[in-house]
Chains A and B, each alone.
Chain A
Amino acid sequence: MKRRDFMISAAGGVAGLALLPRMSFAAEGVIDWYTSSDSNILDFWTNTVKPAFEAANPGVSINLVDAGDGAGIIAIGERAIAAKQQGADPQADFFESGDALLPSGAIEAGVYANIAEAGLTNYSKVNPLAIQSDYSLPYRGSQVLLAYDSTKLSAADAPKNWDELVAWIKANPGQFVYNRPDKGGSGGNFVRRAIHQANGLDPAAFTVDNYTEEFGNEALGKAWAILSDIAPSLYDGGAYSSGNTQSIQLLAQGVVTMAPVWSDQVLQAIDQGVLPAETGLVQLQDLALAGGFTRSIVIENGVNRDAALKLADFILSEEIQSAILTELGGFPGVSWDYVSAELRERFADIVPLTIPTFPGGAWDGAINDGWYRNVAPNVDRNA
């Protein structure tokens, strides 16, 4: 090829690449769907929700896209705001998981649909404990439980409250591990449970906007003392795994006897044989470990807004809510009264009577920084 030909074709190629993203438009009837959740959720949507929804709504399909993490969803939210301002197409209709408050100003800009007033037939079934905003729809939840190896610890001896748990950890040094609070919610909510413990077991004491440095230092400082106290009795004299999966791996390899785990992850792990069937699950009865709901968002200015609202209504149906329990191992976003009695019976272990939650916002940063500074380094592991 002559050099000039090469330059021309190369230039043509570059120009084509530059034009390519502009040429993709959101298609009518194809819901552009984004998630920041783990791959088990994407699998669940691919194999269960998408076929069921498309069968029930001929002519409408869902384009499932993994946005990576929370920051990915926020970036697409920002794109929707920009598109709204220019009257353009945001190329997004539905966020599987999102925070209606992020990116800030999205609600004010009219980018997120008001789900409470959208007239969803199933909206009244949603668990009132889970509703945080009119602009997001809690459709599935999961909670942190304690998983243990029932060959080493009988169900009767499994700790039922915090004091028993601490006593058990100290009596069995090296047999408990939790992951770093910022690296996964199982360890994160274990740490938050310690914060609840240190502050009178009152989840209401912490709200999204009541963080002050003074209150934070006082409330968290007491929790750091509790966690530092048990640190020498943890796995390897105070080592912390680097994520939810790694905790499950240590449990699976028989290295530790007990670890805090997400309900959905542990049920799947047992189902897939990653964890043996003898894995026991227990929830603390004095105050459950904190959990959380995943909230979906519908984009108001999306091309398929109405279809996306239909999808939002669909995921609250008994069919999908039951599948969340049986296939995903999560717990439903609707109140337990709307789940079949048979399932309610079967999942009695993980049915939360209360769902303590812990606010995000400034508390997150304070907990993540404080734990690393005060709990993680305290132990001289070579001693």
Chain B
Amino acid sequence: MTDAAEGAKRPLIEGAASRRPTGLLLVAIPVFLVGWLVIWPIINAIGRTLWRPDASGTMGFDLSSYVFFFSDQYSINNLTITLWTTLMCAILLLVICLPIALYLRFSHGRLPAYVQALAIFPMFVPSIILAYAFIRVLGPNGMVDILLNSVGLPKIRTPYLTPWGPVIGLVWDNIPLTVLILLSGLGNVANHAIEAARDVGANRLQVFWHIILPRISNSLLVAISFAVLGIFSSFTLPYLLGPAAPEMMGPFMNRTFREVNDPLNAITQAVITFGFCIAFGLFYVRSVARNQGQ
């Protein structure tokens, strides 16, 4: 940032008071939209689930819908499967994306360009298409089964309609964002730092552990919190690929609202989901704030 500001003919950040209204105006629209479409509904939802009329019609403080959620084994199971799916996806994303990002950062030539294109590809595939492709490939009697069968091997135990279905779909869907964020973080790792470490005899693992990892810990956190936020409240893939029960919070909320006609419990589920997401979001905000402070 500082380099760019010094290099520019005109400072990128101007102190002149005359510019300030334009800047504020530009921020005002997104801030207003976030306030109107995000913050207000959240406050409204929390208010509506906590402060509502009881049986006799008098308004009052009422925690019963939350008590019901946390005492209802079915709801707890849904929350648990959501946390499990999110955790599994986060672990798998790290295991898959970190090596890809490292490879892309430290190699040159034509092949890495193809690998990168391939890694970014899922970004351009709508998740509904992905879900149907998944069913055709990994589903029962799908392409994998046909290939295995043609060489005389037994069929796979298909992940379709099991908790692993959404995990595989969501991981594939989130690879591009994770790779891109990790790659940008790896840009912070200077080549000379690695060369210096190699000169004093560090092996690959030591370089990774002592030089690279500390520098990208922030990116790791950002990548994981982004992925986790999206996965926790995902809808399409768990809906199409997951089991009927337990279901993830996204389909569960939608079903409670539309199919069971129970807005109160749907909003309660939404507030609880939001509570978990805000915890993940705080990781992200803290990491960004720490980054800005440097």
Contact = CB atoms under 8 A, between A and B. Distances in A.
A, B assembled together: yes
Interface string B229-271: 0000000000110011111000000010011111000000000
B140 A381 contact: no
B135 interface: yes
**Residue among B247, B260, B262 with the highest chain A CB neighbour number at 10 A:** B260
Interface stretch (A157-165, A241-249, A297-305): A241-249
B140 A240 contact: no
Interface stretch (A101-109, A140-148, A194-202, A365-373): A365-373
Nearest to B241: A242
A295 interface: no
A236 interface: yes
A377 interface: yes
Interface in A159-196: 180, 182
B261 A364 contact: yes
B140 A250 contact: yes
Residue among A242, A246, A249, A368 with max Cβ neighbours from chain B (10 Å): A242
Interface residues of B, number: 23
Interface residues of A, number: 23
A240 B142 contact: no
B130 interface: no
Contact of A372 (B161, B244, B258, B262): B244
A372 B142 contact: no
B142 A365 contact: no
Nearest to A369: B260
Contacts of B244: 180, 239-240, 242, 372, 376
A254 B243 CA distance: 20
Interface string A227-257: 0000000001001111000100110011100
B287 interface: no
Contacts of B77: 377
A365 B260 contact: yes
Given A242-B239, A364-B259, A365-B262, A372 B140 contact: no
Contacts of A365: 259-262
A189 to B, nearest CB: 15
Given A365-B261, A377-B74, A372 B240 contact: no
Contact of B259 (A182, A236, A377): A182
A246 to B, nearest CB: 7
A255 B140 contact: yes
A376 B158 CA distance: 19
B245 A377 contact: yes
In this complex, the member of A253, A254, A373 whose beta carbon has the largest number of chain B beta carbons within 10 angstroms is A253
A365 B260 CA distance: 4
B260 A240 contact: no
Contacts of A254: 141
B203 to A, nearest CB: 41
B141 A255 contact: yes
B74 A239 contact: no
Given A240-B161, A364-B259, A377 B139 contact: no
Given A246-B135, A377-B74, A377-B245, 8 more contacts: A236-B162, A240-B161, A242-B244, A253-B141, A255-B141, A364-B261, A365-B262, A376-B245
Interface of A: 71, 180, 182, 236, 239-242, 246, 249-250, 253-255, 364-365, 368-369, 372-373, 376-377, 381
